[in-house]
């Protein structure tokens, strides 16, 4: 095997390790929404300098997990039940219709790609699950030929991505998502339009209820004041 070829072990940087550690604490609820994130305390706790902590906070802010407030510092991002509900209400109205439009034209290549993505989602880290989930749904919807509607749905998935991270650290939820995605692909392959539409509605409902339950639990743990 040539140097740099597939299989080479790549060691994570200190910043990447700090990001992983902090992300895990946020997603597990150990750092509830609204928790202040003090650089000096985190650096001491993690046994690193403040530089990788500062960079980690910046990267986690880009993921939507950390809010940086001028003159106050960094805090674990607050979560919103009403925001989750609205995102999923819109998805439930748009996505089954788009899927109905797509199924008559969906190709074997689209379905094969969707199956591949389901398997990738089984083992990917939480930070990547949301983007793979969107790619999976997009592969089923693209054949609808509704680019404006697809753009709206894409934006909803992107805005929901931080909530997916909380959802997929739970192994049984991942397993349920796997089963539902595979069942949906099977219905699409069989051109069972009504059944696929109903399945997708249930799938979106299930995801909404799972995330709302997690958000409610995390908000119960949140500090009363920042």
pLDDT tens digits for range 115-152: 999 999 998 887 788 889 999 999 999 999 999 999 99
- Greater confidence (68 vs 127) lies with 68
> What is the fold, at CATH topology level, of the domain defined by 81-221?
1.20.120
Residues 6 or more apart from 120 whose CB is under 8 A from it? Answer: 132
pLDDT at 158: 85
Average pLDDT of 23-27? 85
- Which residue from 103, 120, 208 is spatially nearest to 166, judged by alpha carbons? 208
Q: What is the CATH number of domain 14-76?
A: 1.10.10.10
Instruction: Give start-end residues of each CATH 1.10.10.10 domain in the chain.
Output: 14-76
Identify the three-state secondary structure at position 19: helix
Confidence tier at 224 by pLDDT (50, 70, 90): low
- Greater confidence (96 vs 8) lies with 96
CA within 13 Å, CB half, 176: 15
pLDDT tens digits for range 151-188: 999 999 988 888 888 877 777 888 999 999 999 999 99
Cα-based angle 205, 82, 88 (whole degrees, multiple of 5): 30
CB count in 10 Å sphere of residue 156: 18
Give the tokens for residue 190. Answer: 């069989």
Confidence tier at 10 by pLDDT (50, 70, 90): low
pTM: 0.76
pLDDT at 4: 45
Instruction: Give start-end residues of each CATH 1.20.120.530 domain in the chain.
Output: 81-221
Neighbouring-strand partners of residue 73: 69
C-alpha–C-alpha distance, residues 197 and 99, integer Å: 7
């Amino acid at each position: 095997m040539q140097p740099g070829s597939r299989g080479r072990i790549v060691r994570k940087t200190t910043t990447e390790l700090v990001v992983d550690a902090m992300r895990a604490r946020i997603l597990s609820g150990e750092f509830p929404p609204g928790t202040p994130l003090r650089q000096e305390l985190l650096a001491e706790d993690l046994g690193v300098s403040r530089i990788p902590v500062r960079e980690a906070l910046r990267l986690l802010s880009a993921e939507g997990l950390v809010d940086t407030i001028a003159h106050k510092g960094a805090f674990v991002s607050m979560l919103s039940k009403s925001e989750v509900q609205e995102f999923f209400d819109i998805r439930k109205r748009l996505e089954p219709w788009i899927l109905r439009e797509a199924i008559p034209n969906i190709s074997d290549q689209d379905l094969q790609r969707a199956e591949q993505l389901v398997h990738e989602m089984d083992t990917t880290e939480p930070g990547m699950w949301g983007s793979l989930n969107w790619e999976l749904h997009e592969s089923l919807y693209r054949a609808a030929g509704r680019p404006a509607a697809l753009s709206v749905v894409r934006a909803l998935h992107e805005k929901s991505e931080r909530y997916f991270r909380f959802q997929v650290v739970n192994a049984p939820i991942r397993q349920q998502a796997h089963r539902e995605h595979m069942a949906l692909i099977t219905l699409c392959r069989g051109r069972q339009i009504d059944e696929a539409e109903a399945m997708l509605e249930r799938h979106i409902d299930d995801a909404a209820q799972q995330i709302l339950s997690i958000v409610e639990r995390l908000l119960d743990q949140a500090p009363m004041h920042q």
